[in-house]
Every structure is written in structure tokens, then in C-alpha cells.
Amino acid sequence: MQKVVFLGDLESMRRLFLFFFVTLTLCMSACSPKSNSTVSVVKPKYHHRWYDRKKDRHTKRTKTIKMKS
């Protein structure tokens, strides 16, 4: 028996849909406004001759900075 195919086989349709979906997702993420683009960076540990390991444990390691476009 032969299969009746109207729009091509199912695998190619699935690949085509996935290609358009991924392209649309990447395009939307690239065109989104950059107003809320903040990045969290990790500050290094401080080593000095008056370095106190006990106080250093309580220091905040991450710092939030805004990205410039």
C-alpha cells in the first residue's frame, strides 16, 4: 500500500517547524530591549598581610553591574 502524502513526510515537517521556532526564538531574544541587562560578577578573595579569614567568610562575593550596549 502507498501512503498518501499531502505536504511532505512528517519528519521534514517537524524539522521545518523546529527550524522556524529556533530562528524566531533567537530573533526575539536578540531584538529584546537591553534595559534590564544586569550581570552578576564574582569578586576575588582579598589577600593582604592583614587578611583575616574569619571576616572574609562574611564578605559578599557577588556584585551586580549593568551592562553597557
Q: What is the pLDDT of residues 24-58, one digit of tens each?
A: 887 776 666 655 677 777 777 777 777 777 777 77
Q: Average pLDDT in the 56-64 region? A: 77
Give the domain ranges of the chain: 10-66
65 closest CA partner among 32, 41, 29: 41
Please tell me the pTM assigned to this model.
0.35
